[in-house]
Chains A and B, each alone.
Chain A
């Protein structure tokens, strides 16, 4: 048996909360990758934020050494995958680095949309799937039902599913054995020119960008000059290594192996996920298939509440970008908000994560404008422009047609909720594609929906209309012509550019109405009447008035009250600090996000 025959590369596919991280911990613990004393709760999720949210956004790879029942010692490379729809492309790249996958399903829940979407991706990559029914220790576990569902939904052999509890450790050894026995070893040829797939990277402040690679063919060793095939940039390798999970340098990584390389790469942009690393001296003829540049799907404006923090915000974005190749930003100016940045994200979750990290790790107070998709505008002259900021939409007279991005959405839900979910999709301009009963009680609905409708509180609505039982996955379909208009908001008779949105014409009245009502609630009374209007062009379609504040005075203030009254005033001032003055009106931060959630 060759060394390569003893390698198994696998990943774990699971829905959020179905226990992926805990299972990974168990595998590590069982194979002695970390002593229990070293165990932190969930070793694979490194960022504090991820741990709190229970989702993994950064991929990693860990090498486990396992002595199997056949007496042989195997190298198992666990490649972690993110579990969210925003990161489908990353998932596909880490799947491409594997020969097999554990499909983890919660014994109390069943298969979810993202699990299914990732499973299909895995099947496309011809991965060997090992179903694992997790959490069987829970009193409400229904392993038999889930097993049947697995068969019906996925066509996998339910009897091959392993019953496990990552919490108690039950099933761990069986899983490891299955990995050895059922997942094929990698096929590559170590004699061929180097082809290594980058499936992730991270930024180390001392060593620069560190790509994580799966060597498909050839050999990657220290001292080699490598070339990134998408850009042609070359670097000299200072170190190659594996994660155990701590990084450990090795002499070389050969075909079939997984690890990292360090080569003094200054920027993560030079270590693009999906790119192929080859040798400069003996380059491969072609890159590995499947590379594409990741393009942001959702844009929003980020502005510091305090304009003095502009430089800090730029520095923070630059730092985040070092670790997050999908984040893009460029300076923009808003008449209402001053200087800020237009930022592009893979999706809403990605946006929220970046926002939270900026606020938490960099201590910035931010105003976020409503997220927007990228519209394609065909001008009367025939020229096409992409618009990711409603404010920059060309004047209506110069627009021939507008197109918006559509996605194919897959929704998995209990059959009881078909009605409400179909209703939601119809409301959101969805086109019904199909409905399939996965089992007696679970249904898969497929719709084509404008992406703009999904980023506009679709998740929240879906969750609330199905009591959290529905799950959603979507993929980009393409651009389609739509009858779209720009809806402006006027506060105190001035257009507030940061509140403008692009909406479908049929929805404009309803959205405008809802928006002015919501803004009336969110904007505190000023010392004068403030009209709040929604308008399309010069036509006002909805109006509310925030009545002036008439009285704000403490009746009494004597010796016993001074400290207490001062605290009241401080609280009031604190509230004001979080507001942005637009014209003469003070507008709180939340108002700028209100555009997103008004129903």
Chain B
């Protein structure tokens, strides 16, 4: 079983953030939330009997906005309620500026073995413009402490295509990130959601972004540099040292089941997908009244399951195994989607190699053109 736990708190909202997260929430509210979360764990464990967790992922928000003791308590609770499989991967997302060496040591001690750090950029001006609550120095400090606390599996998140970001800035960010030798790197092209400060500025024409070609070049440059020093490019936006792919995230891309707990968290279980209530009050209220806080439930038809398997699976560079697909759905992929795949094949966006259907290099930045065929 794979478990996601959402901790929707942060110091402040970044200008591009459209995650469910609430800035500067006072301790009584976080305390109520954590209590509700504990209760939801029990309800979910009782109702679904999901078994022991193979991966646990604490995401946010900024989970490390919470005190060390709260986080330690949560991990302990997970062990208690669900149990952990041997060698379970336990990830905590963290932002520089919310960490201390002590906090990191506590997390390690309770069994957290993977840290995902939101570095984003190594340039003060860019960090400030994004509305990040940290500076470049905080990234180095956090990384150093994490190593010292014993984290041997660290991810850094980076963003390219930022307003005012030059390709030199991006090169420099990549160099500095690689210098730290993290086990994992996530590089994301900036996407603007309409209901964010940057999204609004952009739609009003008050925010200039690098042009499309520049952004694509940044992507290729990142891939070239990161692969050049021995990382494997394994998902559209993700790179890892051999053996360090994020096992939790692989469950999403392989379209396997997971449970998501906490406000706004999504689950995929059986033939259903659902999302929890997003607002703290409604989420906590529901749980306190003894209800599972699911807001929207979607029943997955076999057709949708097939489509999801493809548009998620093709995010992985290795692609989708034709054999596994046939075993899972009792249908030949290339036959079943023959008509839809014709154009992507013709345009050279996909290819079949050694029994896998996968995106070509040309297809990587144009993946949606392929994915749209599966929905």
Contacts and interface: CB of A to CB of B under 8 A. Distances in A.
A557 B375 contact: no
Contact of A569 (B253, B275, B375): B375
Interface in B226-284: 236-237, 249, 251-253, 258, 260, 264-268, 273, 275
A559 B368 contact: no
Contacts of A572: 368, 372
Contacts of B188: 555-556
Contacts of A527: 347, 349, 366, 369
B215 A551 contact: yes
A306 B296 CA distance: 34
| Majority secondary structure, A binding face | helix
A563 B298 contact: yes
Nearest to B186: A556
B36 interface: no
B311 interface: yes
A560 B308 contact: no
Nearest to B273: A563
Contacts of B88: none
B364 interface: yes
Contacts of A569: 311, 368, 371-372, 374-375
Interface residues of B, number: 47
B252 A570 contact: no
A562 B266 contact: yes
Nearest to B371: A569
Given A559-B258, A560-B265, A553 B375 contact: no
A552 B372 CA distance: 11
A576 interface: yes
Interface string A558-580: 11111101101110110010000
A392 interface: no
A551 B366 contact: yes
Nearest to B211: A550
User: Which of B191, B253, B266 gathers the greatest number of chain A CB atoms within 10 Å?
Assistant: B266
Contact of B367 (A549, A554, A573, A576): A554
B260 A560 contact: yes
Contact of A557 (B312, B366, B374): B312
Contacts of B366: 527, 549-553
A551 B312 contact: no
Given A550-B216, A554-B368, A566 B275 contact: no
B82 interface: no
B268 A553 contact: no
B194 interface: no
Nearest to B237: A555
A562 B260 CA distance: 13
B306 interface: no
Given A550-B212, A551-B216, A566-B308, A558 B252 contact: yes
A562 B256 CA distance: 12
A51 to B, nearest CB: 37
Contacts of A555: 188-191, 236-237
B367 A553 contact: yes
A443 to B, nearest CB: 43
B372 A556 contact: no
A559 B213 contact: no
Contacts of B296: 563
B311 to A, nearest CB: 7
B47 to A, nearest CB: 19
Most buried by B among A552, A560, A562, A572: A560
B290 interface: no
A558 B19 CA distance: 12
B174 to A, nearest CB: 16
B375 A566 contact: yes
Nearest to A554: B368
B44 interface: no
Given A527-B369, A550-B212, A551-B366, A557 B275 contact: no
Contacts of B298: 563
A559 B367 contact: no
A586 to B, nearest CB: 9
Interface residues of A, number: 24
Contacts of B374: 569
Contacts of A563: 266, 273, 275, 296, 298
B373 interface: yes
A524 to B, nearest CB: 11
A571 to B, nearest CB: 9
B273 A553 contact: no
A552 B191 CA distance: 11
B264 A560 contact: yes
Contacts of B371: 569
Nearest to B367: A553
Nearest to B157: A556
A556 B236 CA distance: 8
A576 B307 CA distance: 17
A549 B366 CA distance: 8
Nearest to B159: A555
Contacts of B365: 550-553
A561 B308 CA distance: 12
B4 interface: yes
Contact of B268 (A552, A559, A568, A570): A559
A569 B310 CA distance: 13
Contacts of A556: 188, 191, 237
A561 B252 CA distance: 10
A566 to B, nearest CB: 5
* Centre residue among B189, B307, B369 by max chain A CB count within 10 A: B369
B315 interface: yes
Contacts of A549: 366, 369
B265 A566 contact: no
Contacts of B312: 557, 562
A554 B191 contact: yes
A559 B212 contact: no
Interface in B308-345: 308, 311-312, 315
Nearest to A526: B347
Most buried by B among A559, A569, A572: A559
B364 A557 contact: no
Interface string B170-204: 00000000000000000011110000000000000
B189 A553 contact: yes
Contacts of A550: 212-213, 216, 365-366
A562 B4 CA distance: 14
Given A555-B188, A555-B189, A560 B369 contact: no
A572 B374 CA distance: 11
Nearest to A570: B375
Interface in B33-75: 59
Interface in B209-231: 212-213, 215-216, 219
A557 B255 CA distance: 12
Interface in A519-565: 527, 549-563, 565
Given A554-B367, A559-B252, A560-B264, 7 more contacts: A552-B367, A553-B365, A559-B251, A559-B267, A562-B266, A562-B273, A569-B375
Interface of B: 4, 6, 59, 188-191, 212-213, 215-216, 219, 236-237, 249, 251-253, 258, 260, 264-268, 273, 275, 296, 298, 307-308, 311-312, 315, 347, 349, 364-369, 371-375
The 4 A-B residue pairs with the shortest CB-CB distance, nearest first, are: A555-B188, A573-B372, A560-B266, A552-B368
16 contacts: A550-B212, A552-B365, A552-B368, A554-B191, A555-B237, A556-B188, A557-B312, A557-B315, A559-B258, A560-B260, A562-B252, A563-B275, A566-B311, A568-B368, A572-B372, A576-B372
